[in-house]
Amino acid sequence: MVYLDNAATSWPKAPTVAPAMVAAIEEPMGNVGRSSHAAAFAASRIIYDFREQVASLLPPTALEQIIITRNATEALNITLLGTLEKGDVVLTTPMEHNAVARPLHVLTQQHAVRWVQCACDAYGQVDADDFKEQIIALRPRLAVCTAASNVTGGINPVEELVRICVACDVPFVVDASQSMGEVPLWSFPTITMSQAGGAVCFSLHKGLLGPAGVGVMALYGAFLPRPLWYGGTGSLSDSVVQPDFLPDRYESGTPAIQAIAGCTAALRYCQEHRQEIDRQRQTMGELLFAGLAQYAPLRIVSPANNRLGVVSVTPREGTLSALAEALFAAGIAVRCGFHCAPLAHRWLHTVPQGGTIRFSVGFMTVTQDIHCALAVVEETLHGG
């Protein structure tokens, strides 16, 4: 199989992931914070190491503000459902994943939250000027933006957007699910996200090469949404009241310790091999874009520059079903359809075609993989 679906989930995982997970299964491993024996301390060490590794990727925040969730979806749900109330205004882009769009749909329908979307360009990249105008005019309770589109791979000017929110004292939530591990988030020479508050939400199973089942909600400033889950934390066990200190406020229940161990190993691997991983993704992404751009029957909805290793295409006429079926029959793993982002496809005008076919390279993609995929595209489009 030729695997070009890394934007959905990475494969293969970092080579250090499986041994780390096996060790966390075979060695004594207790429940975090539930006791003082050696096995419980071993689990706590894994959690601490994970937070430290995650902290190295992010704008500075305290370790206890790095909240472990089951995935990015849970993290985003907490930031939205735990913050927005009746009559509040929230500003997003039309390119948001359903992890943002569906909670907001519920909030608009059931809680009279006003949901406004700023403008984007033809590739779904945020128009920063329009974003600024909307922030100034609306003074929303919250602004939410994807760092990079999961449909087009287009990278957004996150640092500029954060600066706008800081200047207007608007909390900002970044959905970094698609970008984390592929592009640096941002750096602030003079200001930090903590000034306005907000969160960075992401999962570990995509660009960071970890296993599924682990996400992060990194909190900044005084941004403290209401928790959505309540239960055992190992702390204040003599009370039915949920702890209000971090991270326990949000981390009820037993964590996926083996998956977290695998994620920690993946983060270390990514850090140690950053240059070669980035180089391979960039080289293969450029090769893929150049190859697909030669086919006139296809419209490329991904930008030529300033994008992840994602190239999304749709037919200029008809639907994508024939090409999708040919790719699958040839053992080419891609993602077809609406990518859990229906609003994005409406913005991109790809709904009549059935969405797009998204090719996404990974750190182990090689030239032969690209050539195999392009050969299938060539044969299908031109009947060769």
Task: Give the global pTM.
Answer: 0.96
Plot region of 312 (φ>0 → left; ψ -120 to 50 → alpha; else → beta) = beta
What distance in Å separates the CA atoms of residue 263 and residue 46, rounded to the nearest whole number?
A: 10
| Closest residue by Cα to residue 267 from 311, 220, 221, 202 | 202
Inter-residue contact 29 to 357 (CB < 8 Å):
no
User: If residue 313 lies in a helix (H) or strand (E), which one and from where to where?
Assistant: strand 310-315
DSSP β-ladder status, 298-300 and 172-175:
unpaired
In the numeric block, which tokens belong to residue 110? 């059931």
What distance in Å separates the CA atoms of residue 335 and residue 141, rounded to the nearest whole number?
A: 35
Largest CA distance in the chain: 72
What distance in Å separates the CA atoms of residue 21 and residue 39, rounded to the nearest whole number?
A: 15
In Å, how far from its chain's centre is CA 210?
13
| Closest residue by Cα to residue 176 from 206, 151, 196 | 206
222 phi and psi angles, rounded to 5 deg: -95, 15
Residue 346 carries which side chain, given as an amino acid letter?
Answer: R
What are the residue boundaries of the structural domains of the chain, listed by start? Answer: 2-11+274-382, 17-271
CB atoms within 10 A of CB 319: 13
Give CA separation, 243 vs 75, 131, 237, 239, in Å.
18, 37, 10, 9
pLDDT of residue 191: 60
CATH of region 2-11+274-382, choose from 3.30.565.10, 3.40.50.720, 3.90.1150.10, 3.40.1360.10:
3.90.1150.10
The per-residue pLDDT string of the chain (384 residues; one tens digit each, 9 = 90 and over) reads: 999 999 999 999 999 999 999 999 999 999 998 888 999 999 999 999 999 999 999 988 999 999 999 999 999 999 999 999 999 999 999 999 999 999 999 999 999 999 999 999 999 999 999 999 999 999 999 999 999 999 999 999 999 999 999 999 999 999 999 999 998 876 554 567 788 899 999 999 999 999 999 999 999 999 999 999 999 999 999 999 999 999 999 999 999 999 999 999 999 999 999 999 999 999 999 999 999 999 999 999 999 999 999 999 999 999 999 999 999 999 999 999 999 999 999 999 999 999 999 999 999 999 999 999 999 999 999 875
Q: Does domain 17-271 have CATH number 3.40.109.10?
A: no
- Kindly report, residue by residue over 250-304, the tens digit of the pLDDT: 999 999 999 999 999 999 999 999 999 999 999 999 999 999 999 999 999 999 9
